[in-house]
Chain A
Amino acid sequence: EPEVTQTPSHQVTQMGQEVILRCVPISNHLYFYWYRQILGQKVEFLVSFYNNEISEKSEIFDDQFSVERPDGSNFTLKIRSTKLEDSAMYFCASSDPATGGRDTEAFFGQGTRLTVV
């Protein structure tokens, strides 16, 4: 069964450092997403990406964040200068509304736990 893959599973970084979280979405999917879950809290939408550009972003997704699909298979989230409050679980997801929309389902990766120290 196809799945969304995220690497690394856990990353520890020092405050102020740049991090790149990587995702390989399901190959025939067209929509890609990043969500964030601070420990013990709800899952929050960060950004959606379609047709090689951002289709929507939340107010959390400020200038410190960027996304890229560099090679047609990977989908990355970069945080330029990490802050303590960026510590969270980051989930990548993909979906394929082009299949007809009525079976829309977002498939999630297993998440990357980011710890900023």
Chain B
Amino acid sequence: AQTVTQSQPEMSVQEAETVTLSCTYDTSESNYYLFWYKQPPSRQMILVIRQEAYKQQNATENRFSVNFQKAAKSFSLKISDSQLGDTAMYFCAFMVPGGSEKLVFGKGTKLTVNP
């Protein structure tokens, strides 16, 4: 069974600074996807960024980038130039394609961006 671990329950960062959220996972699969979802106070789940395991290049979406280390089974999220609107819960998630394609989530990291 796949597991996802987020070891930082809470983090805070000053506006405009950079913060990195950690995620590790455990799987015996070779092909899979990794995701970071953002859940603001409104509780909606919003996809921030995705990474395909067969791609060596780290995914980037504007201020959000990942550091994907496949051998170490690590998938961290870096948020650059943090904004107040980035305040949210961030969930790391794992998915194996080809079956039900369900998402397996970590417990989340609560990020607070301070003015």
Q: How far is the CA of A89 from the CA of B108 in the complex (A)?
A: 15
Interface status of B19 (Cβ within 8 A of chain A): no
Which chain B residues border A75 with CB–CB below 8 Å?
A: none
User: B11: shortest Cβ distance to chain A, in Å?
Assistant: 16
Q: Which residues of A contact B45 (CB under 8 A)?
A: 43, 91, 93, 108, 111
| B91 close to A42 (CB less than 8 A) | yes
What is the chain B residue whose CB lies nearest that of A41?
A: B107
Q: Provided the pairs A48-B100, A104-B33, A111-B43 are in contact, do residues A42 and B107 lie with their beta carbons within 8 angstroms? A: yes
A-B contact count (CB 8 A): 63
* A83-117 at interface with B (beta carbon < 8 Å): 89, 91, 93, 95, 97, 101-102, 104-111, 113
Q: Which residues of chain A come closer than 8 Å to B102, judged between CB atoms?
A: 33, 45, 48, 56
Main secondary structure of the interface of A (DSSP, over half): strand
Q: How far is the CB of B21 from chain A (nearest CB, A)?
A: 14
Query: What is the distance, in angstroms, from B33's C-beta to the closest C-beta of chain A?
Result: 6
B44 adjacent to A56 (CB under 8 Å): no
Interface size class of B (residues with CB under 8 A): 20 to 34
B residues in contact with A42, CB < 8 Å: 91, 105-108
The 10 nearest A-B residue pairs measured at CB: A56-B100, A108-B45, A48-B100, A43-B105, A55-B100, A42-B107, A45-B102, A110-B44, A42-B105, A111-B43
Chain B interface (Cβ < 8 Å from any Cβ of A): 33, 37, 42-47, 50, 52, 91, 93, 95, 97-108
Additional pairs, 18, CB under 8 Å, beyond known A44-B105, A48-B100, A101-B98? A41-B107, A42-B105, A42-B108, A43-B45, A43-B93, A45-B102, A45-B103, A45-B104, A91-B45, A97-B97, A102-B52, A104-B95, A104-B101, A106-B95, A110-B43, A110-B44, A111-B45, A113-B43
